[in-house]
Amino acid sequence: MPALFVPALALGAIGVLLYHVVAYFTSPLKDIPGPFWAKITDLWRFIDHYHATQPITQRRLHDELGPAVRIGPNAVSLSDPSLLKTVYSTRGHFLKSDFYTVNDAVQDGHVIQNVFGTRSNAFHGKYMRPIQKLYTMTSILTMESLIDRTIVSLCEQLENRFMSGKNAGKTCDIADWIGFYAWDVVGEITFSQPFGFLKSGNDVKSMIHTAESVMHYFGVVGQMPVLDKFLGKNPYSPIKLPTFANAAGFCAQRLMERLSNPDLEKGQGQKDFLGRFLEAKQQYPDVVGDNEVIGYLLLNMLAGADTTAITQKAIIYFVLRNPQVYQKLRAELDAASLTFPTAYDDARKLPYLEAVIQEALRIHPPVGNVLERVVPQSGLTLPDGRTIAPGTIVGMNQWVVTRNKELFGEDVDIFRPERWLCGENEAEEEYSIRIKKMKEYDFSFGGGNRICTGRFLATAELFKVTSTLFSKYDMELEDPSQEWTVHLWWFVFVDNIKVKLSPRAEKAK
């Protein structure tokens, strides 16, 4: 038997090689340029993602090879923004790819889909319908006092630990504290109960770290989803992989507590998300059961905390690195005489603040991968006439599109909020054409029928926290020559923003 093993292995290897050679020469994507190994195997992009270099690689390849680049035997990265509305259409003709199935959870041996990961429009429509209205700006603003509670808690912690008594002048890693805030606010609006990160000043039970590891796994293994069957979805996998199991258990616990004691919803007169999901359960009993409620709760935690934290950190980092921006923002905030914490309705009227937020989302989008979709039966015709066959995985990486010089100007690598405003020598009409285009092709929150569910919640938070922190405190980088640490994963996590904080002498606190 062992004597046959080596020839069998050799035969197998020759078979695999032959398969790839034939696939290479007969591929309907022959006309699309790309690295040699990318045309042969998905291992090429798996390795690129493993090394966390994919946004840089993809940007370089698009610069060298044009708007369509092979990144896998059956995968094409696109960079022409005029295709955004086609690939990410509101009618959802281009379904999400298998990449997203890696995100599915396994419970008692069964794969459980969720509204983020599902490939099915029918599933998505069915389970989004009961909760869609909870995420409109009007609905989010009914929960504003829950956000305020967490902002007050953030400020209390920052003042006690870094600005008063013997702690005055102590260095603060604001990246950590924004992370704690972003998770606690999700706890507050979802369960009327923060997770306790701000209070403890720690990553309680390593929840944040685990979520980061899960996202890393998702982004890398998602390049070859078949591997997930042997790893994450394999109950006998010898490798212990990070999972959402603890987070799901946490949500299940909160649900059980609430069902046995509805008074736990101690929001100031308004319902939190859990209360609203339970209403949806009553209203749509055929669709929403306890498992679905747990799924919705989990999505708030896993899609809502890190994304918002990353953007908030980017805003602070880039404002601090650009003293002119800092001064302009500060002047606008002071002139507005804001309350503490800033009311969203006041903050949203401030054009420079809005430009700062938009520019941070442009220069540092929180998602660093191609948002993969599958070409439908009708195929895809590129603007230059080339066609992409049905079944091909296509998509765009925000880190490529947001660096498009025709759209955003030659200085795309620079943080310049002014690009979102009317220039001093720019005619009003010229500006309105330019800004319309920039906004039309801005897909920081994704697009089409799978656009980010939580975009209004994120927007309200970013306006409120940015305006509150910059009007209440003086903030500077401890060492302006020190750059932050960036991890180019599926979520582009950032750490290490060391600052000095002090309360403002007077004026707009």
The residues that touch ligand HEM, with contacts defined as CB under 6 A, are 115-116, 124, 299-300, 303-304, 307-308, 311, 366-367, 371, 444-446, 450, 452-454, 457-458
CB-nearer residue toward ligand HEM: 458 or 501 = 458
- In terms of phi and psi (left: phi > 0; alpha: psi -120 to 50; beta: otherwise), the region of 108 is left
Give me the least distance between CB of 130 and ligand HEM, in Å please.
Answer: 14
d(Cα 287, Cα 297) in Å, to the nearest integer? 16
Sign of torsion, CA 325 330 335 337? positive
Give me the least distance between CB of 91 and ligand HEM, in Å please.
Answer: 14
Residue pair 293/281 in contact by the 8 Å Cβ criterion:
yes
Phi, psi of 80 (to 5 degrees): -80, 110
**Strand ranges, E, within 255-392:** 370-374, 380-381, 387-388
CB-nearer residue toward ligand HEM: 100 or 162 = 100
CB-nearer residue toward ligand HEM: 115 or 214 = 115
| DSSP state, residue 268 | S
Give me the least distance between CB of 351 and ligand HEM, in Å please.
Answer: 19
CB-nearer residue toward ligand HEM: 39 or 49 = 49
Give me the least distance between CB of 466 and ligand HEM, in Å please.
Answer: 12
**Over 456-508, what HEC string results?**
HHHHHHHHHHHHHHHHHEEEEECCCCCCCEEEECCEEEEECCEEEEEECCCCC
- In terms of phi and psi (left: phi > 0; alpha: psi -120 to 50; beta: otherwise), the region of 201 is left
d(Cα 336, Cα 169) in Å, to the nearest integer? 28
CA distances, 118 to each of 105, 121, 450 (Å): 11, 8, 10
CB-nearer residue toward ligand HEM: 126 or 504 = 126
Which residue number has the CB closest to ligand HEM? 454
Give me the least distance between CB of 398 and ligand HEM, in Å please.
Answer: 7
Give me the least distance between CB of 456 and ligand HEM, in Å please.
Answer: 9
CB-nearer residue toward ligand HEM: 304 or 341 = 304
CB-nearer residue toward ligand HEM: 24 or 135 = 135
Give me the least distance between CB of 199 and ligand HEM, in Å please.
Answer: 22
